[in-house]
Amino acid sequence: MDQSARPKGKIVTDQAAGNITRSEELAYELKIAEVMSTTMYLMSVDMSMDDVLKIFRQAHISGAPVVDHGKLVGIVSIEDTIRCLMANDMQAPVSEYMTHNVIGIQSREPVIEALKTFVNIKVGRLPVLDDDGNLVGILTKGDITRGLLKALQHDYQAEEVIRYRASHLFEDIESDRTSLILRYNISPRDFTHGGSASANIKRALLRLGAPPQIARRTGIAVYEAEINLIIHTTNGGVIRVEIEPQKITIDAYDDGPGIADVEQALRPGFSTATNEVRELGFGAGMGLVNISRCVDNMKLESAVGVGTRLKMKIFLQTEEAFREANPAGKETK
Amino acid sequence: MNLQNVIDALNLTPLTEPKDFARIEVTEGYTSDLLSCVMAGAPHGGVWVTLQAHTNIIAVAALLDLNAVIISEDAQPEPATIERANDEGITLLATPMKSFEVVGRLWELGLRSN
């Protein structure tokens, strides 16, 4: 029908598949003891069917285990009371109408075993027994659904907690100056991984709760620095990002070959990239220009034969808040 | 204008996993084959037209949160590039048209430069 003509909602399908997998996993992880009902109405074997029906109606239940001196001997359900009513035999003892050969299930088994049993034998509830054969609970399909939903909810909350913790990292840790330092080693000529460090930094910032605009600016600045290390360095270099509540400090450094004329390197369009590199779309001579556009503060130092160090700063607070935090005279901008 | 309209109008071939393109709004575009220029000029959420097909275009598109990259002149990205695009949620669209023509058609559809 129409369904097939529509573009496939592949993401949703994958997500749904992911959820199915997780609930399947949970069916193996969760023990029956964790999902069963432990509050149950026990019928004693010598009760009359009339009394059973009264309890069913009062408690709004449709079945209950029958015990004889604490041991499980049968199960009585609403169907049994109907049969009994039709036979006009409500004074008969439970033992005459209950199901005798009751299939029980062990409390320490995983939920998946109960699901299999429910599929194989058409019953509405399973009595749950401990290792000694004592009745410890009762299990319906509804209990399983509730148990799975609760476990999924728990998973979800755990994920929320992780996200919350990441975004409150700086508030939760008390010190005179808290910072998070990320380091990335960049290999020379490794164009395949070009952009990985910047992508990871952008992701980390978003996870820490930085505004998307700041994450994007930092990502672009780090990307250009990363590509410069890949294109130009002899032995690669290091990108060090220090994240603090008010600012991000990025340091890209290498041990050679060094830039002969730093001012020339900063000029838009100037590039020393080889034709091979240019063919890949690099070497436009705009890298450092882009960086200066994205950061609040940058400083390029280099010495031929020694190496290059590019320092960049991005302030996270608005300018007003920044000035307040840095009284007049101490302004760095 | 949504991405599905663009795909239909220009007869573009999606190289990445299908998405609900009709729900992706596009209003702006950019073209260049120099990655640093793209970094400086492409509007986030926009469409980027290029004949570059190597892996680094994904890094650029992801950093700028671009909605789609249109690869012109039938330039073929490596399978690894397509895989990375899928990981990053970037849509790659292929066309035999030249960048010049693609941009002209996008302009006719109402897309603008920021």
pLDDT tens sequence across B22-43: 999 999 999 999 998 899 899 9
**Could you tell me if B65 lies within 8 Å of chain A, comparing CB atoms?**
yes
Going by C-alpha positions, the residue among B71, B63, B111 that lies closest to residue B91 is B71
pLDDT at A3 over 60: no
**Could you tell me if B72 lies within 8 Å of chain A, comparing CB atoms?**
no
Query: Which residues are CB-contacts of A310 (< 8 A; sequence separation ≥ 6)?
Result: A225, A228, A250, A251, A252, A253, A288, A291, A298, A299, A300, A301
- The whole-number pLDDT of residue A327 equals 53
- The whole-number pLDDT of residue A51 equals 93
pLDDT at A235 over 90: yes
CA-based nearest distance A28→chain B, Å: 30
Could A224 and B39 be called an inter-chain contact, meaning their C-beta atoms sit closer than 8 Å? yes
For the segment A280-301, what is each residue's pLDDT rounded down to a tens digit? 888 888 889 889 989 999 999 9
pLDDT band at A17; cut points 50, 70, 90: very low
CA-based nearest distance A284→chain B, Å: 6
pLDDT at A13 over 60: no
| pLDDT (average), residues B55-82 | 92
pLDDT band at A118; cut points 50, 70, 90: confident
Alpha-carbon A317 to chain mean position: 29
Nearest residue of B to residue A293 by CA position? B40
Could A7 and B21 be called an inter-chain contact, meaning their C-beta atoms sit closer than 8 Å? yes
Give the burial string for A51-63 (b: 16+ CB within 10 Å, else e): ebbeebeeeebeb
| pLDDT (average), residues A159-174 | 75
- The whole-number pLDDT of residue A257 equals 95
- The whole-number pLDDT of residue A191 equals 87
**Could you tell me if B8 lies within 8 Å of chain A, comparing CB atoms?**
no
| Amino acid symbol at A150 | K
pLDDT at B75 over 80: yes
For the segment A74-109, what is each residue's pLDDT rounded down to a tens digit? 999 999 999 999 999 999 999 999 998 888 889 988
| pLDDT (average), residues B14-22 | 92
CA-based nearest distance B38→chain A, Å: 10
CB pairs below 8 Å between A and B: how many?
83
Q: What is the mean pLDDT of chain B?
A: 93
pLDDT band at A194; cut points 50, 70, 90: confident
- The whole-number pLDDT of residue A319 equals 53
State the DSSP code for A71.
E
- The whole-number pLDDT of residue B26 equals 94
Half-sphere exposure of A105 (CA within 13 A, CB side): 26
Strand bridging mode B47-50 / B68-71? parallel
- The whole-number pLDDT of residue A14 equals 45
Could B36 and A9 be called an inter-chain contact, meaning their C-beta atoms sit closer than 8 Å? no
Nearest to A281 among B33, B58, B88 (CB): B33
Could A7 and B52 be called an inter-chain contact, meaning their C-beta atoms sit closer than 8 Å? no
pLDDT band at A10; cut points 50, 70, 90: very low
Chain A hits for B52, CB-CB cut-off 8 Å, are 280-281
Q: What percent of chain A has pLDDT over 90?
A: 42
pLDDT at A186 over 90: yes
How many residues does this entry show for chain B? 114
Could A199 and B4 be called an inter-chain contact, meaning their C-beta atoms sit closer than 8 Å? no
Could A227 and B35 be called an inter-chain contact, meaning their C-beta atoms sit closer than 8 Å? yes
pLDDT at A323 over 60: no
Cis bond upstream, residue B79 (ω within 30): no
Could A224 and B37 be called an inter-chain contact, meaning their C-beta atoms sit closer than 8 Å? no
